[in-house]
Homo-oligomer: A and B are copies of this chain.
């Protein structure tokens, strides 16, 4: 979920030698070429899913692999169909990062200090949009849950502990 600390986890894994594919970037690349006038990234992604199926973004991300990577992180899974796509490559390990909404909203507000329009209800609406995509199912079935409700240092500690369980 937005503000949970998912990207921080990716960067920790990157430091440890994982290849990180940010799924949002895979969508963004196509979006820049194909978006309709005024279309939001989120709506473009929904349109892609309607045309090519629920797993499309995973397939776009898989296309970015060179085929020689051994340990890959796909950052930004949104539904279980994407997990099925990754399962064709080998057994994926789903890692979820959780933080309480109140804390996520606080972090998001801090991050975008300039943006006054970042109201609680907009953040809530964005959360519900993510959930409508199916991300809740992915979180519910996570193999590893890292809870990021404390300091960044504590999160690093928990992330590395979780990493120990994976490898």
Binding site for B on A (CB under 8 A): 1, 80, 98, 100-102, 127-128, 130-131, 134-145, 147, 149
Contact = CB atoms under 8 A, between A and B. Distances in A.
Q: Across chains A and B, which 8 residue pairs bring their CB atoms closest together, nearest first?
A: A136-B136, A131-B137, A136-B137, A136-B140, A98-B145, A100-B143, A139-B140, A145-B147
B131 A101 contact: no
Nearest to A148: B145
Contacts of A131: 80, 136-137, 140-141
**A interface SS class:** helix
Chain multiplicity (copies): 2
A83 to B, nearest CB: 12
A101 B127 CA distance: 24
A100 to B, nearest CB: 5
Nearest to A131: B137
**Listed residue (A100, A137, A138, A149) with the most chain B CB atoms within 10 angstroms of its CB:** A137
A101 B130 CA distance: 22
Contacts of A102: 143
Contacts of A138: 136
A100 B1 contact: no
A74 B144 CA distance: 26
Nearest to A98: B145
Nearest to A158: B147
